[in-house]
Structure 1
């Protein structure tokens, strides 16, 4: 049987938009505690970046009546790749519409996944030009190291919650060409988690099972640090700043990410991790499937997954739906 030609049209995760009902508190968290840099403002949004993100921004923080994911965006490898993916989405019967006049990049083409999350693909982008005060000593670095708070280096990945994880995986595989590196399958045959990549990173985003049957919810966004030691130091920074630490530092079994999870003031879960440390170089990588029994063992070194990790998401649950 002939192996299908892989689709390499998506280059990487570009940015994530977080909604927050506490915009000033959330902004102070990302600037002072996470150590991000403000890259601009427009309307109800502030645009932020890690010190080695090459694009102008990687986080759009938007004031809202609630929390959660506004949208997530992927950059394509070329204008032609963008056109191919828009055509593939439409050929599969999905609505795709142009989003013009966006901050920091050209026309975005937006669509929704089977669970209702909003996504965008684009190509034209604005490379970050550091002002004199933030210019690095080494020209192959985007910005001077901030030496402030956690000092996040770059956006790494995000995790959405979904009612039907398998349907979302198949959607991203068939229309955008993402590859599944790891997944979780319950004894019932239901898919409870999937990790997808467009690059040699082990994953660019993940979807896990939404426990309440409510579509369109968000689990977390992750920013990369340089080392495990940096994540341990981040725990002290969070402690000193009164930030709620939900779980970690510890090591995941799935993908082996060294992790630390906190909640920012708007209620969204934020992770710092050395997630990009593990690469998938094999072009014929075989998806790792974890069983329900294997996942009951907890994380890599035996830490049991806490209840809130399966129940807390944003936006908050609708009235009448119990955690």
Structure 2
């Protein structure tokens, strides 16, 4: 019997949990502005999904004392792949345990990256079935496009901060079969790595934490479609007092259209478009950028990603991190719907 191809053991990023000290403001941002559907409330948490997300939820908002990523979960390509990846992680001496997971998902393996990020692996996922009033006539769309805000389609990717990029990257390659599509180096130091388990340019990114902290969160990205949506969204955010950090523009690395904002609770969110490049070659070679090309890496069109926030601010915030300008708690938000 041939061994399974490690490259295809992980199917895709399924979900993320964000903690927020301003749950009403965060919920308003994702529902009223980004048009995400609410599917359930439980305790201090609200579950949301984009109109093309296939499962019951892709985003969980949980009230907490500080903004941060609670956890993120990847779906495997089969139940057997889940068992194999969990064994690999355990054999690699990374902390992990089996759990019976929460709403919409089943048996789950929770583990911690070498830098301290809380990640999960799962196979069992309840497909979203739209009620009659939300059923789309487009058969590949899980629900109708909402008539609210400028709605995102689905969760796209996750960006983590790490005190040392290389051990986290290697653990994803070794235990999850993810492939490094692109990376940025400064001499012998890896400043960032962008990885994928499918044809997308990346689904998980790891960037060096400029403050040397461990296990922090940089951003989650939701997919729009075309660059015009980011332009429209930027106008909407200006009108409603949401802090824009950078963009709209297009990255050289990944070639995706971007717009970075801070939701009212203080977490960074990227609105991503065009998919970026698609990796169709089975024998692709990792592309390595240097810091000499950082302007092209970050923005082909010339937008500047501000050092005082983009390369230092992560959640949970740590001293002496600078808060986004203006600080998230000063952002003007409308009442939650």
Same fold (TM over 0.5): yes
Cα 1:130–1:251 shift into 2, 3 Å? same
1:72 is aligned to 72
SS in 2 for 1:276: coil
Deviations 1:220-241 (A, max 9, x none): 1100011111111111111122
Contact 2:56-2:126 within 8 A present in 1 as well: yes
Bigger mean CA offset, 49-58 vs 288-297 = 288-297
Structure 2 distance, partners of 1:280, 1:7, is: 13
1:302 is aligned to 302
Q: CA RMSD, aligned part only?
A: 1.4
Aligned length: 317
SS in 1 for 2:88: helix
Structure 2 distance, partners of 1:86, 1:316, is: 31
2:140 is aligned to 140
Cα 1:224–1:322 shift into 2, 3 Å? closer
Deviations 1:168-203 (A, max 9, x none): 10010001100000000102x110000000111010
Bigger mean CA offset, 106-115 vs 295-304 = 295-304
1:160 is aligned to 160
2:283 is aligned to 284
SS in 1 for 2:302: coil
Deviations 1:2-54 (A, max 9, x none): xx954311010000111101111111111101110001122211110000001
User: What TM-score do you get using the length of structure 1 for normalisation?
Assistant: 0.95
2:60 is aligned to 60
Is 1:173 equivalent to 2:173 in the alignment? yes
Structure 2 segments unaligned to the other structure (5+ residues): 323-337
Aligned-pair CA distance for 1:277:
4.3
Is 1:83 equivalent to 2:83 in the alignment? yes
1:234 is aligned to 233
Deviations 1:135-173 (A, max 9, x none): 112232100010211210000001111000011100100
Deviations 1:69-105 (A, max 9, x none): 1001000011100000011111111222112141111
Contact 2:225-2:275 within 8 A present in 1 as well: no
2:250 is aligned to 251
Contact 1:33-1:241 within 8 A present in 2 as well: no
Structure 1 distance, partners of 2:50, 2:66, is: 24
User: What TM-score do you get using the length of structure 2 for normalisation?
Assistant: 0.91
1:107 is aligned to 107
